[in-house]
């Protein structure tokens, strides 16, 4: 694997996290992913002391695998879906998501904004550097023209600086 391949893998992994953020607020998660995320979020809320753990808690993994075994096969995650990641990655992703939605300075964006705008907003919330955000945009929207980029940038600016803030 070349450095470029590794870079693309990293960009794709970060991109999946941001696409899950978008799907979460739009309510467009695949049903199996929604069920997994709901299970993880419920577990995190029931175990608020998890922030002190340096690694994924064994108690969570035991509960998750027991829950997975109780599901019919058709409810299992499709590992080929663009939003799926290993459960370990999704656990920490959702742990951070709970922090994002609870932070007073972060207001969830309206779900009707262009996907690119939502991706950029969540990338800012997750403190993803601008170079990686730009790479994700190029990966996700290879055919976007200059007018489309300008529209997205204006929409992002409007979200972060609404008329009441000016």
Q: 51-60: per-residue pLDDT in tens?
A: 667 788 889 9
| Cα 17 from Cα 31, distance rounded (Å) | 17
- Structure tokens, 14: 């970060």
| Residue whose entry in the numeric block shows the structure tokens 């058709």 | 74
- Structure tokens, 46: 């029931």
End-to-end Cα distance, the chain: 48
Rounded to two decimals, what is the model's pTM?
0.82
Max CA separation in the chain (angstroms): 53
Q: 3-class SS at 126?
A: coil
| Cα 5 from Cα 85, distance rounded (Å) | 18
Q: 79-118: per-residue pLDDT in tens?
A: 667 788 888 889 989 988 988 887 666 778 899 999 999 9
């Amino acid at each position: 694997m070349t450095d470029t391949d590794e870079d693309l893998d990293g960009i794709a992994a970060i991109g999946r996290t941001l696409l899950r953020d978008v799907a979460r607020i739009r309510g467009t998660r695949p049903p199996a992913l929604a069920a997994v995320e709901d299970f993880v979020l419920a577990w995190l809320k029931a175990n608020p002391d998890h922030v002190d753990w340096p690694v994924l808690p064994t108690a969570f993994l035991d509960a998750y695998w027991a829950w997975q075994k109780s599901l019919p096969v058709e409810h299992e995650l499709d590992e080929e879906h663009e939003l799926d990641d290993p459960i370990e990655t999704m656990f920490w992703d959702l742990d951070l998501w709970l922090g994002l939605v609870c932070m007073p300075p972060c207001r969830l964006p309206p779900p009707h904004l262009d996907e690119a705008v939502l991706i950029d907003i969540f990338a800012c919330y997750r403190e993803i550097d601008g170079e990686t955000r730009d790479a994700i945009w190029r990966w996700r929207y290879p055919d976007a023209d200059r007018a489309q980029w300008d529209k997205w940038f204006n929409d992002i600016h409007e979200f972060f600086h609404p008329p009441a803030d000016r």
